[in-house]
Amino acid sequence: MDSQTTLKLPVIDFTKPDLKPGTVEWDLLKGQVEQALQEYSCFDALFHKIPLEIRDAIFGAMEELFDLPLQIKTRNVSELPYHGYLGQHPLVPLFESIGIEHANIVEKVEAQTSTFWPEGNTRFSKTIQSFSKQLSELDEMIRTMILEIFHLEKYIDEHMDSTGYLLRVMKYKGPKTTETQVGLKAHRDKNVVTILYQNEVHGLGVQRNDGEWIDVKPSKDSFIVTIGESLHAWLNGRLKSTYHRVMISGDKTRYSLGLFSFPKGGYIIKVPEELVDEAHPLLYKPFDYAEFLKFCCTEDGQKAHSSLKVYCGV
Ligand SMILES: O=C(O)CCC(=O)C(=O)O
Ligand SMILES: [Fe+2]
């Protein structure tokens, strides 16, 4: 067995009800989050708050969505790159994805649902919204812990108020080969924090901070937490962003979804002065996430080893 198949992500248990800042349980988990992020930039969070029937129903809802004709799926557009329909790309032919912006808010989900089903689809919008709303509570807990770890409590309200949620649903067609193929090439997400959930077809790989790749094998209860470039930049490099990819084989379809917290348009990401000193010189100039995302789609952004450094590195 090679080392890749034996390594596992740290598992952190968020199933205790009423986890609150200032409690012993909270501080215990916060310590585990800090250690996991320093070593792996990623962890597997156990979370029960989303009822099992919603966790199951979400994959049915995704299948229903991806089964729609292409001309309907391509109605999924956004002002932001990567937030709308993606698919039919010659470099990643097995991959397709649809973005639901502000998926935690009922009216926003209903409006987007009606672009796919003009007659409405209440079951679909309820499943998507309820899943996203409850998962956003895990995202908020984790981001609050991260800010506490770096003694940035005074920024918590501003940080939460300045971010929105995108739920991106992904479909990877099985390549029908035993040889593993690239589902999604290795990358760092550009947003703040991403929480991934998937069906029983595994394929996600995460690079640990020492360079080792880990095959992620999550369960129905587990949500994979990764760090994006915007959080890495805002923390002046204190946390690395997660380098990850999807590799697939066989004939089964892989469905996954990611709840992406991202800075709202017009909000300027600026490193807090508390994180800059002689030992930690400023790494990134202030930037707007939407502009950064647009840069990432340009030829210069695509060919850069680190689009973040090229875009706003000091
Ligand atoms: O499908 C997955 O598990 C990962 C997807 C991903 O990395 C992304 O959408 O940025
Ligand atoms: Fe990603």
Residue 107's domain is classified under what CATH number? 2.60.120.330
DSSP secondary structure code for residue 192 in this structure: S
Distance CA 313, CA 295 (A): 13
Here the tokens at position 227 are 């760090």
ipTM > 0.95, yes or no: yes
Ligand 2 geometric centre to CA of 188 (Å): 6
Ligand 2 centroid–CA 186 distance in Å is 8
| 306 within some domain | no
Q: What is the pTM of this model?
A: 0.97
Is the residue at 294 inside a domain?
no
One digit per residue, the tens of pLDDT, for the chain of length 314 reads 444 457 899 999 999 988 999 999 999 999 999 999 999 999 999 999 999 999 999 999 999 999 999 999 999 999 999 999 999 888 888 999 999 999 999 999 999 999 999 999 999 999 999 999 999 999 999 999 999 999 999 999 999 999 999 999 999 999 998 899 999 999 999 999 999 999 999 999 999 999 999 999 989 999 999 999 999 999 999 999 999 999 999 999 999 999 999 999 999 999 999 999 999 999 999 999 999 999 999 999 999 999 999 999 99
CA atoms of 306 and 187, how far apart (whole Å): 10
DSSP label of 237: T
Residue 25 CA to residue 305 CA, distance in Å, equals 40
Q: Tell me the C-alpha distance between 220 and 200, whole Å.
A: 8
Residues within a 6 A CB radius of ligand 1: 168, 170, 184, 189, 196, 198, 204, 244, 246, 256, 258
The boundaries of the domain holding residue 128 are: 4-274
The position carrying tokens 């508390």 is: 274
Whether residue 281 lies inside any domain: the answer is no
Ligand 1 geometric centre to CA of 20 (Å)? 29
Q: What is the rounded CA–CA span in Å between residue 116 and residue 119?
A: 9
If phi > 0 it is left, if psi is from -120 to 50 it is alpha, else beta; for residue 212 that is beta
Query: Which atom belonging to ligand 1 lies closest to the Cα atom of 256?
Result: 1
Helix (H, G, I), strand (E, B) or coil at 27: helix
Residue of 196, 199, 222, 257 with the most ligand 1 atoms within 8 Å of its CB, for mutation: 196
Q: What is the total count of domains within the chain? A: 1
Residue 231 lies in a domain: yes
Kindly list the strands in the beta sheet with 177-188, ordered across the sheet, starting from the edge strand earlier in the chain.
177-188, 243-250, 204-207, 213-215
Does residue 204 lie in a domain region? yes
Q: What angle do CA 261, 60, 81 make, to 5 degrees?
A: 35
Residue with tokens 């998937």: 198
